[in-house]
Amino acid sequence: MLTERNMRMTRQRKVILEELRKMNNHPSADELYERVRQYLPRISLGTVYRNLEVLSELGEIQKLEISGTLKRFDGNPKKHYHIRCMNCGRVDDAPLDFMKNIENSLLGATKYKIMGHRLEFIGLCPECFEQVSARWQGKKLKIGS
């Protein structure tokens, strides 16, 4: 996609993209910056931010603007959904194939020109759920008191 738009794949952009695609935790720009600095010690945080924006605009990555958290980035550019832990902020892919054509189902049902959509699932990640369960184990919950 970069070459289609006459943009060079700079060394910095390549390292940022490669490192992001290795990570499956949907990192923030700051987290990715720390990782990229291992290979490019002189890179600035601003350069990482700018390149993430460019890669997002080109469709090489996804920029996740999930409520209640920092912007996060996903190396998988294909449309898919995410689930966020309400406790620690962890973000994972939500494996929902049946919702692939949700935008298409609105065509003809509305006069809006659909430009995209966001669907966020929230819950507790396995680690946080285990902590909460351990905390409440053996205690009776009193509802309505």
Where is the binding site for Fe cation, in residues?
Answer: 117
Task: Please give the Cα distance from 76 to 119 (Å, whole number).
Answer: 17
Where is the binding site, in residues?
Answer: 85, 88, 117, 125, 128
Give every CB contact of residue 35 below 8 A, 6+ residues apart in sequence: 19, 23, 27
Write a three-state SS string for 58-103: CCCCEEECCCCCCCEEECCCCCCEEEEECCCCCEEEECCHHHCCHH
Number of neighbours of residue 77 by Cβ within 10 angstroms: 15
Where is the binding site for Zn(2+), in residues?
Answer: 85, 88, 125, 128
